[in-house]
Amino acid sequence: MTSLHADEAFLGHYQFSHDPFAARVPGFRFFPAQRKPVLGQLHHLARYSQLLLVVSGPKGSGKTLLRQALVASTNKQSVQCIVVSARGAGDVAGVLRQVAQGLGVQQTDLRTIQAQIAQLALTGQEVYVLVDDAEQLADGALDSLFNLAAGTVDSRPHVFLFGESALVPRLELLADGEERFHAIDLLPYSEDETREYLAQRLDGAGQGIDLLTDDQVADIHLSSSGWPGGINLAAREVLIDTMLAQRNSASSVGAGFALPKKHLIALAVVAIALGAAWFMQDTKRDLLPASDSVAEQVPVPPPAVPVVAAGDAAKPSAPAAQGASASIEFAGSSQPLPLPLVGEAQPVIREPLAQASGMDEAEDGGVPGMAPTTPEPQAAIPLPVPAPAPAVSVPTVPVAPPVAVAPVQPVKPVPAPAVAKPAAKPAVAPVAKPVAAEPAAAPVVASAAPAGGDWYGSQPASNYALQILGTRSESSAKAFVSKNGGQYRYFKKLHQGQALYVVTYGQFASRAAAQSAIKSLPASVQAGKPWPRSFASIQQEAVRAR
């Protein structure tokens, strides 16, 4: 996994702030095991020795990191450090040119360089010349550095060479038996030192040594022989293999659902749309009056009762050409009516029909000319009717007995609009109730837990908290904190340029106390493998996210 996509997947899977095993990592602290004593020895020799100093070790032994630590730990006011790279410029001219540029002089000869060093010595400043990849230097360049380190009484810089072990025999030949340099050989880490080194690397990236088992740490130490460069490569390969194994097991369980993300989103949208359509259809059916089920059983064909839209009044129309019956007008028919539902018979509106035919008032639940005590739902719901058609005579033979068409002639219930109009007013009242209830939802949003950024800043940097999870959604972090409450909090950090919200638990005086508190967490929280991290790292990430 060397592609950019693979690197992003590696960082995202373990929620690293950066690659903990890269050659150059931000804010990495110098590892003390076996290297800190060497660093102290170099400072001591630079102060009291006049010899050229050599740090040797195989590739990946930590020579470059030691050189960086030496530069970082010097007093910048009293020491001027000049870093020289032997890669591509290992001859005499290339080395002296880099030294002259560091001193700010134009001439690149040895005498001019020594004069500038003597001038700096008068101001109380020393000069450190640090050469990286020194095994690539030519013999002439090594001899020039010997002369530069010997210096004069007024100008004597301290020269440090960092190179592989093959550099030392070459220096012995050039020294020709004289004591002109002092060599320090770097040693590999022990297994315990390897574990501490891995823990420090992982902690700098926002995680802990819990990502690796004891067997994995032992394998990393054996495969790397204890050298830091090999430890970095082996640890990264182990974590990548673990990530791939976890993803393969997860994909084998849900292989049937391994669809692209955009396809899953499209399927979800379609499912929601179908559910909404089904819900609306059921709602319309539920809102239809119960009397419609009876009306569907009336064997009266729709053309037998012609309907003419005529505003808000129901009144008899003119007799048909043959004078067999009368047409009826419905109240509220000036408003647009929806089309009939699919699969349902054309409903017969019973109230105007009852008024026109003189049926008993108990059957329709209302008295002509009076407002009903309980509003009829069918008066507030526009029911589908066929398009207006010319009045046609109603044949008497197919008319069923329940519909008495003959008594239509008197047409006495002209005051029927009094029934329809009051029914429209109650229909408005139920709409106002849900509107008044909407403000009650506001307290739910207000109950979200605060991020607690000030709380993290007030904690001792040496204390620890348990990191529970990280998410890109702040609402998810708030929901988790609100659900669990107690000592759960979250803070905001930046991960790959985007906001990441990290949920933590508790405040502990030591890493061991935080580690032991994991057993007291709920099983669902323990399943996420929480791990302890210091408040110092949390405060740094929170500050960078502001």
Give Cα separations from 492 to 470, 474, 477, 495, 506 (angstroms).
9, 9, 10, 10, 17
Q: Give the model's pLDDT for residue 156.
A: 85
> Rounded CA gap, 358 and 354, in Å?
6
Q: Give the model's pLDDT for residue 81.
A: 94
Two tokens, residue 104: 């700010």
Say yes or no: 541 and 476 in one domain. Answer: yes
Polymer length in residues for the chain: 546
pLDDT at 399 over 70: no
Q: Residues 28-75: pLDDT tens digits? A: 666 666 678 888 889 899 888 889 999 999 998 888 888 988 998 898
Positive/negative CA dihedral, 204, 207, 211, 214: positive
Q: Give the model's pLDDT for residue 259.
A: 59
Q: Give the model's pLDDT for residue 254.
A: 53
Say yes or no: 199 and 175 in one domain. Answer: no
> Rounded CA gap, 34 and 41, in Å?
11
Q: Residues 174-199: pLDDT tens digits? A: 988 888 899 999 999 999 989 988 99
Higher pLDDT, 363 or 116: 116
Say yes or no: 402 and 517 in one domain. Answer: no
Please give the average per-residue pLDDT across 108-112, as a whole number: 89
Query: Which of these ranges, 15-29, 436-450, 498-512, has the smallest mean pLDDT?
Result: 436-450
Q: Residues 435-462: pLDDT tens digits? A: 334 433 333 333 333 455 588 889 998 9
* pLDDT band with cut points at 50, 70 and 90 for residue 320: very low
Residue 153 lies inside a defined structural domain of this protein: yes
* DSSP-assigned letter for residue 459: S
> Rounded CA gap, 189 and 177, in Å?
32
* Secondary structure, 3-state, 22-39: CCCCCCCCCCCCCHHHHH
- In percent, the amount of the chain with pLDDT more than 90 equals 25
> Rounded CA gap, 530 and 508, in Å?
14
Domain count, the chain: 4
Q: Which domain holds residue 453?
A: 448-545
* pLDDT band with cut points at 50, 70 and 90 for residue 510: very high
Higher pLDDT, 424 or 537: 537
Q: Residues 136-168: pLDDT tens digits? A: 999 999 999 999 998 877 778 999 999 998 999
Please give the average per-residue pLDDT across 476-482, as a whole number: 90
Residue 307 near residue 332 (C-beta atoms within 8 A):
no
Say yes or no: 163 and 43 in one domain. Answer: yes
Query: Which of these ranges, 13-22, 73-82, 392-401, 491-500, has the smallest mean pLDDT?
Result: 392-401
Q: Which range, 274-283, 376-385, 489-498, has the best average confidence (pLDDT)?
A: 489-498
> Rounded CA gap, 115 and 109, in Å?
10
Amino acid (1-letter code) at residue 270: V
pLDDT at 429 over 60: no
Residue 434 lies inside a defined structural domain of this protein: no
Residue 328 lies inside a defined structural domain of this protein: yes
Q: Of 157, 196, 170, whose CA–CA distance to 51 is shortest?
A: 157
CA-CA-CA-CA dihedral for 310, 312, 313, 318, to nearest 10: 0
Residue 207 lies inside a defined structural domain of this protein: yes
Higher pLDDT, 441 or 110: 110
Say yes or no: 477 and 495 in one domain. Answer: yes
Residue reference for tokens 């904190």? 481
Please give the average per-residue pLDDT across 291-298, as a whole number: 43
Which pairing describes strands 464-471 and 531-534: parallel, antiparallel, or unpaired? Answer: antiparallel
Two tokens, residue 23: 């050659």
> Rounded CA gap, 60 and 478, in Å?
45
Q: What is the CATH number of the domain that holds 161?
A: 3.40.50.300
Residue 489 near residue 452 (C-beta atoms within 8 A):
yes
- Return all residues near 264 (Cβ < 8 A) that are at least 6 apart: none
Positive/negative CA dihedral, 8, 11, 14, 15: negative
Cα angle for residues 380, 381, 385 (degrees, 5° grid): 130
Give Cα separations from 236 to 14, 95, 242 (angstroms).
12, 36, 10
> Rounded CA gap, 354 and 368, in Å?
10
Say yes or no: 62 and 169 in one domain. Answer: yes
Residue 473 lies inside a defined structural domain of this protein: yes
Residue 273 lies inside a defined structural domain of this protein: no
Residue 390 near residue 380 (C-beta atoms within 8 A):
no
Q: Give the model's pLDDT for residue 356.
A: 40
Cα angle for residues 436, 420, 437 (degrees, 5° grid): 5
* DSSP-assigned letter for residue 527: T
pLDDT at 404 over 70: no
pLDDT at 322 over 80: no
Indicate the residue among 230, 251, 272 that finishes a domain: 251
* pLDDT band with cut points at 50, 70 and 90 for residue 405: very low
Say yes or no: 455 and 365 in one domain. Answer: no
Say yes or no: 176 and 200 in one domain. Answer: no
> Rounded CA gap, 20 and 10, in Å?
11
Beta bridge partner(s), residue 531: 467
Beta bridge partner(s), residue 163: 56
Say yes or no: 179 and 44 in one domain. Answer: yes
Two tokens, residue 81: 């450090």
Say yes or no: 97 and 176 in one domain. Answer: yes
> Rounded CA gap, 534 and 546, in Å?
19
Query: Which of these ranges, 100-104, 179-183, 278-282, 287-291, has the smallest mean pLDDT?
Result: 287-291
Residue 509 lies inside a defined structural domain of this protein: yes
Higher pLDDT, 22 or 341: 22
pLDDT at 414 over 70: no
Indicate the residue among 144, 160, 185 that finishes a domain: 185
> Rounded CA gap, 186 and 60, in Å?
11
Indicate the residue among 137, 161, 185 that finishes a domain: 185
Say yes or no: 487 and 413 in one domain. Answer: no
Q: What is the CATH number of the domain that holds 502?
A: 3.30.70.1070
> Rounded CA gap, 327 and 319, in Å?
7
Residue 392 lies inside a defined structural domain of this protein: yes
Say yes or no: 41 and 143 in one domain. Answer: yes
Please give the average per-residue pLDDT across 465-482, as a whole number: 90
Beta bridge partner(s), residue 330: 309
Two tokens, residue 165: 């072990």
